[in-house]
Structure 1
């Protein structure tokens, strides 16, 4: 399993949309601090147990200041999901960019699956957020949107290394590969570690096989 994990320990507002976006650097830093305090609390006790008042207290801001940017706890969770989703997309883009052949692309996808699974294992906040996707329609919609973006990155790379492939099929296959990856990770972290590792290995074989098929069949 790859140990080269992207650093997601500190949240920034670079890819986060808020109902009120702070303009001044000092205000941005304060909102980022609120989110990072939320991460600390989620890591300690989970998002279900975290309260808005605890976030405000840990961030040393008034509860009113917190509500200016986050109307409820779900808004904090969604902001964090946006952050992690954007960082994962960046990781995927970087991981696929160096592939120059179909075999190299399949190897890169294998590596990315390992990295993604390692992130789920290493980051309790990511596990917490993605475990709750089924109960939050906004998070489900965000996941689908992220799968489309990551699928587009994979499809673009596939068409680059296998220019004779069917672009329409590539787009559909790659979207499905990436979306199934999200589901596979959620399942893997919900069972015992040994079984989880086997599930991820099975998904890797299925994903790489389909990617290779999409790149070779006309």
Structure 2
């Protein structure tokens, strides 16, 4: 079994840039990785190709990242931060569970639009789910979202229903992720039909107590 230290080593950014030149070089690496991941796919992209596209030597690339998994992690953290900013405001200041259900349902359309615009989300997800160490990142992100939703909504739920509420929230997050991943790969008509049906399910059952 790989130790926590070894896992951290393969995923960790080796050098946090301080000077402007290093910051620009890191940005060039990440932008090059995004371009190549979208063009070729994550699995087919090599570290050498990332270095060439970024205009740096392979040695310079390895000064920042020990392997491609670390590049994926850095991109995941960047885009998760963007996504988290949207997700955390969904249930802010809600007054009733009916209002929460409406907000959850309406947010689906915005999430679908975000994933369609930022196609790299899908590429990163496909790479993360097949890597045991990286998949932990997705799990941790889900747990953070659950904690945020629970904090915003728990005051609206009877104490006797807290556990069922937590289960409902987790199921909603997991299932919504799959719905979004499916709909972003479909035509607008097919996507809308599935999103509308999932919105009805959320309104009718996820927040029903």
How many residues in Structure 1 have an aligned counterpart in Structure 2? 197
**Aligned match of 1:134 in 111, 129, 154?**
129
Alignment correspondent of 1:114: 109
Q: Does 1:164 align with 2:172?
A: no
How much does 1:66 deviate?
Answer: 0.8
Q: Deviations over 1:45-98 (max 9, x none)?
A: 332343322221222222111112222223212221222222211211123214
What's the Cα RMSD here?
Answer: 2.4
Structure 2 CA distance for partners of 1:138 and 1:117, relative to 1, 3 Å: farther
SS at match of 2:129: helix
Q: Does 1:65 align with 2:60?
A: yes
Q: Which runs of 4+ in 1 moved over 4 A?
A: 190-193
**Which TM-score applies when normalising by structure 2?**
0.80
Contact 1:95 1:108 in 2 (8 A): yes
**Which TM-score applies when normalising by structure 1?**
0.77
Q: What is the CA–CA distance in structure 2 between the aligned matches of 1:151 and 1:114, rounded to whole Å?
A: 20
Structure 2 CA distance for partners of 1:190 and 1:137, relative to 1, 3 Å: farther
Q: What is the CA–CA distance in structure 1 between the aligned matches of 2:19 and 2:98, rounded to whole Å?
A: 45
Alignment correspondent of 2:45: 50
- Structure 1 unaligned spans of 5+: 1-16
Alignment correspondent of 2:203: 208
Of the two, which has the highest radius of gyration?
Answer: 2
- Structure 2 unaligned spans of 5+: 1-10
